[in-house]
Amino acid sequence: MRRKLAAGNWKMNGLSTDLAELDRLITRHAAPAVDLLLCPPATLLAAASARLGNHPLLIGGQDCHAAASGAHTGDISASMLADAGARAVILGHSERRQDHEETDQMVRAKARAAHAAGLTTVICLGESLDEREAANTLDIIGGQLSASVPDNSTGENLVIAYEPIWAIGSGLTPTLDQIGEVHDFIRTRLERRFGAGVGRSARLLYGGSVKPENAAEIFTISNVDGALVGGASLTADDFSAIITALEASTT
């Protein structure tokens, strides 16, 4: 049985005063029935981790470098994330693929480094609107999945986030059937590549304009094990409503 996961991605948002939202969140969800992950900007990782006390919420990074250390000005290694208290890292987000021209091969190398540092990786895949309209979604997702996910992945350290690029921050979402089709496809591919053990225990998140208003229906879809949430994770009120919807889907 996979434990559900609600993950928040603050992107390039958040100053130290905004950690009050984290305080509110963990106060409201003192004993969550699902796993929680919050990925603030790197500048807040250590401070966010320090505020958790014994709370089970995990803190994560939003990217890491593939190398363990070295002359890479401005970059952050996986072990630096771990040292700052991170337990997970988002990799291959479409904004990084676009803004930083990250390829599947780069994402896979980063994921290897993250796994070596003991981090769980949330590897993002998603098609553009043109690709969906050309009926190429499954080809694109299949290609990204096989090239971005490293062979050493386990059921514990691998989380896949299906995030259609056109749904991110747009208020648009695929239909429930469209989400289900992609998640079933990813599950089948993982089982074929890694076997039933890893393939069935890796968690699959949906991401792209998940809000308190649509979360409950998205969580009814089979093979949706939770959500990666951008804008709605910035406030404790909205993220909490999504967490509550995910908890309700487990009963």
Please provide the DSSP assignment of 82-144 as one string.
HHTT--EEEES-HHHHHHS---HHHHHHHHHHHHHTT-EEEEEE---HHHHHTT-HHHHHHHH
For ligand PEP, give the closer residue by CB, 57 or 234.
234
Tell me: does residue 160 bind ligand PEP (CB under 6 A).
no
Site for ligand PEP in 29-68 (CB under 6 A): none
Output 110 or 199, the one with its CB closest to ligand PEP. 110
Choose between 64 and 194: whose C-beta lies nearer to ligand PEP. 64
SS3 10: coil
Does position 229 interact with ligand PEP (CB under 6 A)? The reply is yes
CA 142/CA 116 separation, integer angstroms = 25
CB of 162 to ligand PEP, least distance (A): 10
CA 86 to chain centre: 14
Nearer to ligand PEP, 194 or 224 (CB): 224
For residues 128 and 50, what is the distance between their CA atoms, to the nearest angstrom? 38
CA 170/CA 4 separation, integer angstroms: 25
Q: What span, in angstroms and rounded, lies between the C-alpha atoms of 190 and 121?
A: 15
140 touches ligand PEP (CB under 6 A):
no
What x-and-dash track marks residues 85-124 binding ligand PEP by CB under 6 A? Answer: ----------------------------------------
- CB crowding 219-249: b at 16 or more within 10 Å, else e: bebebbbbbbbbbbbbebebbbbbbbbbbeb
Q: Which of 95, 131, 163, 183 is catalytic?
A: 163
Among 66, 168, 236, 246, binds ligand PEP (CB under 6 A): 168
CA atoms within 13 A on the CB side of 205: 33
Determine whether 29 is an active site residue.
no
Residue recorded with tokens 């002359």: 71
Which residue among the candidates 93, 127, 131, 183 is catalytic per the annotation?
Answer: 93
Which range, of 47-55, 115-123, 130-138, 226-234, touches ligand PEP by CB under 6 A?
226-234
In angstroms, give the least distance from the CB of 79 to ligand PEP.
24
Cα 177 from Cα 217, distance rounded (Å): 11
* Position of minimal CB gap to ligand PEP: 230
- The span of 48-56, 60-68, 141-149, 228-236 binding ligand PEP (CB under 6 A) equals 228-236
Binding residues for ligand PEP, rule: CB under 6 A, are: 9, 163, 168-169, 207-210, 228-232
